[in-house]
Amino acid sequence: MSKKTVRDIDLKDKKVFVRCDFNVPLDENGVITDNRRIVGALPTIKYLLENNCKVILCSHLGRPKGEVKPEFSLKPIAVELSKLLGKEVKLANDVIGESAKELTSNMNNGDVVLLENVRFDAREEKNDPELSKELASMAEIFVNDAFGTAHRAHSSTAGVADYLPAVSGFLIEKELKFLGEALQNPERPFVAILGGKKVSDKIGVINSLLEKVDTLLIGGAMAFTFFKAQGYGVGDSICELDKLDLAKEIMENAKKKGVNLVLPVDTKIGKEFDPNTESKTVKSNEIPDGWQGFDIGAESIKEYCEILKSAKTVIWNGPVGLSEFKQFAAGTDTIAETLANLSDCTTIIGGGDSAAAVERAGLADKMTHISTGGGASLEFLEGKKLPGIECLQDK
């Protein structure tokens, strides 16, 4: 069932409470290192301003655990937003206290107020109805545009919809369009690339994608659990010994469903977890003791990229190697370049580290869609219902 968006209700001149996900990475000096989530919220905010609304923005940042902690203040976000919008965004210095009340009750049409980190209030993560009610009392309409937090049932992401007409913003609409269409109606061949650290993080996604894709390319540390399940030695590579049966089950399941599940034939290994460690490439069933697998090997890169070249839909979740270290980034970087050069293929990137890898390679605008959701995009791909979306009005 599709959900109403800001286009589907009359919000002219209204006071609107907008939940965004401004949970962006900050460096040790509090400088934003990736503003994609802020940029992603702009279309909705601009649309509301064009409609003469009073815009109250709300977000969390990090996990302050219900306490006011200055290092989790939304101050850097208010500054960045003001810059991007080209207009002043006033930051309240509390969530629903004196400052928030004063700023939000004295607004003119076209004003933008950002509330302080909603997780400074311990009731937020408990989805406490009292907090939802207080947040709702500030406005006439609830717009949820926090896709990255849509898998959390919290007061500001879901609870507030009990007290106000609730619709989605353009970012959530866009995320649902790309992720949803890929799952429901993909152009084929449909190929998924799954990497990252652990099989256990991605079991739900693997099982769900096995129902949909033609080919599943496995990379990253999770490959070693599959190798071990086939009886290979994996040296000191990351490997989940309690998931070997599961890995076998996944391989059998793929066979039954006619899905081509591909594991790397070769692996680039290193001596230590260190950017400058000694490294070499070996056949995947010949990883010696005392070594760790950190990337897919050159032969695998070639094979994976050949498969990708004929794909019409690709979903990529999780880097295929330790791509933060230059000498183990070739797999991830070459896959990113290959996807960037596909002209007739829908390419969807989900997962924080995969998105960061594509960004690092300077290829972000060459992809069809880079999700702003980490956990949320995983849960969506698993086919789970997301509370921040379920709570919105149906079309």
> Which residues in this chain contact ligand 3PG in the complex, by CB under 6 A?
21, 23, 63, 148-149, 152, 374-375
Active site residue 352: yes
Name the closest residue to Mg ion (Cβ): 353
| Minimum CB–partner distance for residue 352 and ligand ADP (Å) | 4
In contact, 99 and 42? CB cutoff 8 Å: no
Active site residue 243: no
Closest C-alpha to 58, from 88, 95, 102: 95
To Mg ion, the closest distance from the beta carbon of 199 in angstroms equals 14
Assess contact for 198 and 240: CB atoms under 8 A: yes
CB atoms within 10 A of CB 195: 28
CA–CA separation, 242 vs 225, rounded Å?
9
Q: Taking CB under 5 A as the criterion, which residues in 360-389 touch Mg ion?
A: none
Q: In which order are the strands placed within the sheet that holds 292-296?
A: 279-283, 266-270, 292-296
Peptide bond just before 189 cis, omega within 30 deg: yes
Q: Cα separation of 11 and 52, whole Å? A: 9
Query: ∠ CA(362), CA(368), CA(371), 5° rounding?
Result: 80
Say which entry of ligand 3PG, ligand ADP, Mg ion, none residue 152 contacts (CB below 5 to 8 A, set by partner kind): ligand 3PG
The distance of closest approach from Cβ of residue 353 to Mg ion in the complex, given in angstroms and rounded to an integer, is 4
37 is catalytic: yes
Contact of residue 382 among ligand 3PG, ligand ADP, Mg ion, none (CB under 5-8 Å per partner type): none
Q: Which is nearer to ligand ADP, 143 or 381 (CB)?
A: 381
Task: Answer whether 374's CB lies under 8 Å from 198's CB.
Answer: no
In the bound state with Mg ion, the residue whose beta carbon lies nearer, of 203 and 265, is 203
Binding-site residue total for Mg ion (CB under 5 A)?
A: 2
The item of ligand 3PG, Mg ion, ligand ADP, none sharing an interface with residue 270, based on CB under 5 to 8 Å by kind, is: none
Helix, strand and coil percent figures for the chain, each rounded to 5:
40, 15, 40
Specify the DSSP class assigned to residue 273: S
The CA–CA distances, whole Å, from 62 to 77, 148, 149 equal 13, 12, 11
User: Cβ distance 148 to 21 under 8 Å?
Assistant: yes
* Residue 186 contacts residue 315 (beta carbons within 8 Å): no
The tally of CA atoms less than 13 A away on the side-chain side of residue 114 is: 26
> Catalytic one among 4, 198, 271, 312?
198
Residue 220, binding choice from ligand 3PG, Mg ion, ligand ADP, none, Cβ under 5 to 8 Å by partner class: ligand ADP
Q: Cα 305 from chain centroid?
A: 24
Q: Is 388 a catalytic residue?
A: no
235 binds, among Mg ion, ligand ADP, ligand 3PG, none (CB under 5 to 8 A by kind): none
Residue with tokens 């009340």: 101
Residue from 148, 293, 352, 373 carrying the catalytic annotation? 352
- Minimum Å distance from CB 238 to ligand ADP? 5
Among 21, 173, 266, 353, binds Mg ion (CB under 5 A): 353
Task: Given the residues 3, 15, 19, 37, select the one marked as catalytic.
Answer: 37
Of 118 and 381, nearer to ligand ADP (C-beta) is 381
3-class secondary structure, 91: strand
Q: Which C-beta is closer to ligand ADP: that of 167 or that of 329?
A: 329
Nearest distance, CB of residue 330 and ligand 3PG, angstroms: 28
Shortest Å, Cβ 374 to ligand ADP: 6
At its nearest, how many Å lie between Mg ion and the CB of residue 355?
9
Measured from the CB of residue 27, what is the shortest distance to Mg ion in angstroms? 18
Question: In terms of CB distance, is 50 or 286 closer to ligand ADP?
Answer: 286
Binding to Mg ion by residue 352, rule CB under 5 A?
Answer: yes
In the bound state with ligand ADP, the residue whose beta carbon lies nearer, of 170 and 328, is 328
Residue nearest ligand ADP, Cβ-based: 196
Burial classification of residue 148, based on how many CB atoms lie within 10 Å of its CB (0-12 exposed, 13-18 middle, 19 or more buried): buried
Cα separation, 163 vs 148, in Å, equals 22
Instruction: Give the residue with the Cβ less far from ligand 3PG, 123 or 152.
Output: 152
Name which of 76 and 352 has its Cβ closer to Mg ion: 352
**Which positions lie near ligand ADP, rule CB under 6 A?**
195-197, 201, 220-221, 238, 293-294, 317-319, 321-324, 351-354, 374
**Residues catalogued as catalytic:** 37, 198, 352, 375
